[in-house]
Chain A
Amino acid sequence: MERTHYKQEINITEPLMNRINELISHYPADKRKSALLPVLHEVQDAHENWLSPELMDKVAEILQILPIEVYEVVSFYSMYNQRPIGKYMFEFCHTSPCCLKGTEDLMDYTCEKLGVKVGEITPDGLFEVKGVECLGACGYAPMMQLGDFYKENLTEDKIDQLIADCRDDKIILHDK
Chain B
Amino acid sequence: MKVTIDGQEIEVEAGTTILQAARMIGGESVPPAMCYYSKLKGSGGKCRCCLVEVAKGSEADPRPMPKLMASCVTGCMDGMEVNSKSSDRVKEARESVTEFLLINHPLDCPVCDQAGECDLQDLSFEHGKAKSRFIEEKRTFEPEDIGPNIQLHMNRCILCYRCVMVADQLTDNRVHGVMDRGDHSNISTCISKAIDNEFSGNMIDVCPVGALTDKTFRFKSRVWFNKPYNAHRECTTPGCCGKTTVWMFGDEIQRVTGRKDIYHEVEEFICNECRFDHKDPADWVIEGPREFDKDSVINQNNYTQKLDTVHIATEEGILKGREQDRKKISMPAIPLDKEEEENFKHGNL
Contacts and interface: CB of A to CB of B under 8 A. Distances in A.
Partners in one complex: yes
Contacts of B107: none
B177 A72 contact: yes
Interface in A75-111: 75-76
Interface stretch (B132-140, B189-197, B279-287, B332-340): B189-197
A78 to B, nearest CB: 9
A72 B179 contact: yes
Interface string B166-185: 00000001111111110000
Contacts of B191: 1, 3-4, 53, 71
Contact of A71 (B142, B144, B173, B190): B190
A16 interface: no
B192 A75 contact: no
A66 interface: yes
A172 B206 CA distance: 51
Nearest to A71: B190
B76 to A, nearest CB: 33
A68 B176 contact: yes
A68 B181 contact: no
Nearest to A68: B177
Contacts, number: 37
B180 A76 contact: yes
Nearest to A82: B190
Most chain B CB atoms below 10 A, which of A1, A4, A68, A69: A68
A85 B178 CA distance: 24
Most chain A CB atoms below 10 A, which of B176, B177, B180, B189: B177
A74 to B, nearest CB: 9
Interface residues of A, number: 12
Interface in A1-22: 1, 3-4
A66 B173 contact: yes
A68 B180 contact: no
B176 to A, nearest CB: 7
Interface in B179-232: 179-181, 189-192
A75 B180 contact: yes
B192 A76 contact: no
Given A1-B192, A4-B191, A53-B191, A72 B178 contact: yes
Nearest to B190: A71
A4 B179 contact: no
B189 to A, nearest CB: 7
Contacts of A72: 177-179, 190
Contact of A68 (B142, B144, B175, B192): B175
B98 to A, nearest CB: 27
B180 A3 contact: no
B253 to A, nearest CB: 33
Contacts of A53: 190-191
Nearest to B173: A66
B162 to A, nearest CB: 16
A69 B190 CA distance: 11
Interface string B225-248: 000000000000000000000000
Contact of B177 (A3, A4, A69): A69
B190 A76 contact: no
A76 B177 CA distance: 12
B181 A71 contact: no
A66 B174 CA distance: 7
Contacts of A75: 179-181, 190
Contacts of B144: 1
A96 B259 CA distance: 53
Contacts of A4: 191-192
11 contacts: A3-B190, A4-B191, A66-B174, A68-B175, A68-B177, A68-B190, A71-B179, A71-B191, A72-B177, A76-B179, A76-B180
Per CB-CB distance, the 10 closest pairs between chain A and chain B, nearest first, are A71-B190, A75-B179, A72-B177, A68-B177, A75-B180, A76-B181, A53-B191, A1-B192, A68-B174, A68-B175
Interface of B: 142, 144, 173-181, 189-192
